[in-house]
Amino acid sequence: MVLVGLMGSGKTTTGEILARRLGRPLFDSDRLVEAQTGRTVREIFEADGEDAYRTLETAALLDALAAGEPAVIAAAGGVVIREENRRALRDADALVVWLRADLGILTDRATAGTHRPLLDRDPAGMMAAMARDRDAWYREVADTVVDTTERPPEDVAGEIVALLGGDGPAR
């Protein structure tokens, strides 16, 4: 199962709950990149630029998809930018769930921390631009959409588990 969506949509939090409920490992793209490089996403963006981060993001996604065991993958928000990643998501034997929420909620959630370098200048404007630019790509890869607006992560995870028929097959 792969969770996709904009930053702040709840991929990591929901992914942790799903992994626990389903007894599967969680592969979180950002955490994988940080573990591999020893640097935060912000540090990578500042030192090497966005393109370097996107290359690392792609490697993390492809590694997680190739893990060979049922897992929950919390994909980085921008993973859909690259065609290679969208193709991998479409071809994967996985349920791809687009976590979507109201833009105001996403902006509030995403700006609660300091690790979102794309939101430094104009958080609401950048979030709106990302939503506009990525919407078609999320639709392209998603098998289903789950709204996370004003919903506790436990409820979101419960809806996704129900989509699986409890703990059934990935697709």
Query: Looking at this protein, which amino acid is placed at residue 7?
Result: M
Q: What are the domain boundaries of the chain?
A: 2-163
Reported as a single tens digit per residue, the pLDDT across 82-116 is 999 999 999 999 999 999 998 888 777 666 555 55
Reported as a single tens digit per residue, the pLDDT across 36-81 is 999 998 899 889 998 999 999 999 999 999 998 899 999 998 999 9
Homologous superfamily of domain range 2-163: P-loop containing nucleotide triphosphate hydrolases (3.40.50.300)
pTM for the whole structure:
0.88
Residue from 72, 54, 56 nearest 64 by CA: 72
Kindly write down the DSSP assignment for every residue of 27-86, as one continuous string: EEHHHHHHHHHSS-HHHHHHHH-HHHHHHHHHHHHHHHHTSSS--EEE--GGGGGSHHHH
d(CA 165, CA 39): 38
